[in-house]
Amino acid sequence: MKKSFFYFLIFIFLFFSLIVANNPLTIESLNTQIKKFCGEIYALLPPISMLLVVAAAATYAAGQLASAETRAKATGWATAMIVGALFAFILVSILPPIIKVLYGEGAICEGIVFD
């Protein structure tokens, strides 16, 4: 738990250091970078979740051809992939109302307008 939180903090630090390295840190540049990041994530999640579903099906099918121990591991991996895909679908469906609350009506997430 502590190790994953440490990695998360490193990721956040690197993300914001890249923002500062690109532009002098102002509220407008930070807002622009967050909108770009939001747009990239919003556009990237649906294809990744579809790939996760396909990979889960392939993993489950391949596991059925193997021994009992490998079959159990493959079933666990496939379940984790399906849960990740469901989480991505839920995140994409819940993201627009959250953006509206944070930025107000007509919020733009790098080319995506949430009305």
Residue 17 resides in a domain: no
Rounded CA gap, 56 and 80, in Å?
Answer: 8
Tell me the whole-structure pTM to 2 decimals: 0.64
pLDDT tens figures, 44-67:
888 999 999 999 999 999 999 989
Please state the φ and ψ torsions of residue 111, each to the nearest 5 degrees: 95, -10
pLDDT tens figures, 68-78:
999 999 999 99
Range(s) of the domain holding residue 53: 26-114
In total, how many domains does the chain have? 1
